[in-house]
């Protein structure tokens, strides 16, 4: 299977931070609250969510670090444009920080934020579709201009290099979200079934079932695109 890790942005564009929404760090100086001695990287999502709810900015920044890459791959499969995917991820984290108190169960943070990203990506796709139709109408009104051969060859080479990654992303976008999220966590994050289950609050056996079915759907989508291109 093509590697999802190739889709990761080289450097996150100014990863969102709760500093954009200042809040007092309650309990941070006093060393009480949720596991002050526990390192951010090893803390569970639940611990980080609870600490972030108490106003600890560093806890939410760890959630951003933990999920930025996988959310980017996920939204890229929905939008098919890097810049749009980056914008959606940024907006997702800002909305998540704003609405964190509405999350009833901190253990379900992963499913909650992926669902949020899915909705924002869908909204972005609708907006892009409207813009694309407007551009097409504008283009049709113009007199055709012959393209320079050298520019065409350069564009062809770039398209060939991006074809494999784009094909995988488009196929992944056809897989339902129930199976797409575990696939991203498995093949991008490298998590095993138990770890994915912990993120999504589901038994490991259920995760394995999701992965099995999701991989079959992904393979079918890839094969369909290969036949269509031949």
Provide the CATH number for the domain around residue 206. Answer: 1.10.1740.10
Q: How far is CA 18 from the centre of its chain?
A: 19
Confidence of residue 30 (pLDDT cuts 50, 70, 90): very low
Structure tokens at 39: 């390192």
Domain membership of residue 28 (yes or no) is: no
User: What percentage of the chain reaches a pLDDT higher than 90?
Assistant: 50
pLDDT at 112 over 60: yes
User: CA-CA distances (angstroms) from residue 128 to 2, 8, 74, 83, 201?
Assistant: 27, 22, 17, 12, 34
Q: Which residue has the higher pLDDT, 120 or 36?
A: 120
Q: Which residue has the higher pLDDT, 229 or 207?
A: 207
Domain membership of residue 96 (yes or no) is: yes
Radius of gyration of the chain (CA): 20
Domain membership of residue 18 (yes or no) is: no
Domain membership of residue 158 (yes or no) is: no
Domain membership of residue 20 (yes or no) is: no
What pLDDT sits at residue 168?
85
What pLDDT sits at residue 164?
67
Confidence of residue 51 (pLDDT cuts 50, 70, 90): very high
User: CA-CA distances (angstroms) from residue 202 to 163, 178, 196, 230?
Assistant: 35, 12, 8, 40
What pLDDT sits at residue 21?
44
Q: Which residue has the higher pLDDT, 12 or 91?
A: 91
Domain membership of residue 25 (yes or no) is: no
Read off the pLDDT of residues 148-160 as tens digits, 9 standing for 90 and up.
555 555 545 554 4
What pLDDT sits at residue 69?
95
Confidence of residue 10 (pLDDT cuts 50, 70, 90): very low
Confidence of residue 79 (pLDDT cuts 50, 70, 90): confident
Q: Total structural domains in the chain? A: 1
Domain membership of residue 151 (yes or no) is: no
Structural domain for 113, as ranges: 4-10+38-141+166-229
pLDDT at 145 over 50: no
Q: Give this prediction's pTM.
A: 0.66
pLDDT at 13 over 80: no
**Phi and psi at residue 131, in whole multiples of 5°?**
-65, -40
In SS3 terms, 146-200 reads as: CCCHHHHHHHHHHHHHHHHHHHHHHHHHCCCHHHHHHHHHHHCCCCCHHHHHHHH
Nearest to 173 by CA among 107, 104, 222: 222
Nearest to 189 by CA among 82, 106, 67: 67
pLDDT at 130 over 80: no
Structure tokens at 176: 């339902």
Residues 36-49 as b or e (16 or more Cβ within 10 Å = b) = eeeebeebbbbbbb
List, in sequence order, the alpha helices (H) in the chain.
45-53, 57-79, 82-98, 109-140, 149-173, 177-187, 193-200, 204-229
Read off the pLDDT of residues 166-211 as tens digits, 9 standing for 90 and up.
788 888 999 999 999 999 999 988 999 999 999 999 999 999 999 9
């Amino acid at each position: 299977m093509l590697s999802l890790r190739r889709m990761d942005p080289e450097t996150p564009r100014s990863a969102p931070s709760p500093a954009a929404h200042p809040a007092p760090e309650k309990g941070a100086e006093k060393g009480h609250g949720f596991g002050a001695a526990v390192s951010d990287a090893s803390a569970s999502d639940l611990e980080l969510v609870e600490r972030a709810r108490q106003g600890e900015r560093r806890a939410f920044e760890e959630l951003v670090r933990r999920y930025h890459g996988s959310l980017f791959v996920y939204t890229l499969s929905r939008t098919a444009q890097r810049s749009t995917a980056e914008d959606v991820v940024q907006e997702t984290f800002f909305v998540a920080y704003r609405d964190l108190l509405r999350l009833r169960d901190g253990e379900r943070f992963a499913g909650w934020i992926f669902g949020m990203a899915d909705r924002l990506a869908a909204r972005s796709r609708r907006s892009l579709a409207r813009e694309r139709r407007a551009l097409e109408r504008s283009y049709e009104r113009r007199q055709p201009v012959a393209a320079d051969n050298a520019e065409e060859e350069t564009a062809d080479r770039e398209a060939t290099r991006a074809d494999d990654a784009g094909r995988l992303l488009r196929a992944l976008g056809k897989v339902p979200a129930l199976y797409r999220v575990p696939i991203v966590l498995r093949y991008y994050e490298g998590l095993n079934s138990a770890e994915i289950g912990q993120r999504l609050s589901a038994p490991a056996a259920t995760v394995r079932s999701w992965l099995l079915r999701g991989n079959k759907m992904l393979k079918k989508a890839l094969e369909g695109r290969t036949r269509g291109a031949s």
